[in-house]
Structure 1
Amino acid sequence: MLDRLLTILKSRFGSAPALQEAPKGVEVLADMANRRVMRRYLDKPVDPALVETLCAVALSAPSKSDLQQADIVIVSDKGQRAKLEALLPDNPWVQAAPVFLVFCANNRRHRLMFEWRQRPFVNDHLDPFFNASVDAGIVLATFIAAADRAGLGTCPISAIRNHAEAVSEILGLPGHVFPVAALGVGWPSFEGVMSPRLGLDVTIHHDRYDEAGLREKMAAYDRRREAVQPYKSQRFVDRFGQSPDYGWSEDKARQYSVPERAEFGAFVRRKGFNLE
Structure 2
Amino acid sequence: MNPILEAQSSHRSIRQYTDKPIDESQLHRLIQCAQGAASSSFIQAYSLVQVTNKTNRQTIAALAGGQKWIESAAEFLIICADLSRVEYACIEQGFGALEGNTEHFITSTVDAALFAQNLMLGAESEGLGAVFIGGIRNDTNQIAELLNLPDQVYPVFGLCLGWPDAEPDLKPRLPVNVILHKDRYDNTRCETDVKAYDAQMEDYYQSRSGSQKNSNWSEQTAAAVQTKKREHMLSFLQERGFLKR
Q: TM-score, normalised by structure 2?
A: 0.91
Which residue matches 2:55?
79
Q: Is 1:218 aligned with 2:194?
A: yes
- Tell me, what secondary structure is at the counterpart of 2:168? coil
**Percent of aligned positions that are identical:** 30
Q: Is 1:271 aligned with 2:240?
A: yes
For residues 153 and 197 of structure 1, the distance between their equivalents in structure 2, rounded to whole angstroms, comes to 19
Gaps of 5+ in 2: none
For residues 228 and 22 of structure 2, the distance between their equivalents in structure 1, rounded to whole angstroms, comes to 37
Residues 1:123 and 1:166: Cα distance change in structure 2 (over 3 Å): closer
Gaps of 5+ in 1: 6-25, 235-244
Q: Is 1:111 aligned with 2:87?
A: yes
Read off the aligned partner of 2:236 and give its amino acid letter.
F
Which residue matches 1:251?
220
| Residue correspondence of structure 1 range 28-177 to structure 2 within 5 A | 28-121=4-97, 124-177=100-153
Conserved in 1, the CA contact under 8 Å of 2:141 and 2:236?
yes
The Cα of 1:39 is off from its aligned counterpart by 0.8
Please, which of 142, 160, 174 is the counterpart of residue 184 of structure 1? 160
Deviates further, 146-155 or 68-77: 68-77
Number of positions where the alignment pairs a residue of Structure 1 with one of Structure 2: 242
Residues 1:257 and 1:35: Cα distance change in structure 2 (over 3 Å): closer
For residues 162 and 62 of structure 1, the distance between their equivalents in structure 2, rounded to whole angstroms, comes to 29
Conserved in 2, the CA contact under 8 Å of 1:153 and 1:188?
yes
Residues 1:162 and 1:233: Cα distance change in structure 2 (over 3 Å): farther
Cα deviation 1:161-187 (Å, max 9, x = unaligned): 111111111110100001001001001
Conserved in 1, the CA contact under 8 Å of 2:99 and 2:244?
no
Residues 1:113 and 1:212: Cα distance change in structure 2 (over 3 Å): same
Residues 1:233 and 1:158: Cα distance change in structure 2 (over 3 Å): farther
Q: TM-score, normalised by structure 1?
A: 0.81
The Cα of 1:59 is off from its aligned counterpart by 1.7
For residues 35 and 120 of structure 2, the distance between their equivalents in structure 1, rounded to whole angstroms, comes to 12
The Cα of 1:57 is off from its aligned counterpart by 1.1
For residues 165 and 184 of structure 1, the distance between their equivalents in structure 2, rounded to whole angstroms, comes to 21
Residues 1:125 and 1:27: Cα distance change in structure 2 (over 3 Å): closer
The Cα of 1:213 is off from its aligned counterpart by 2.0
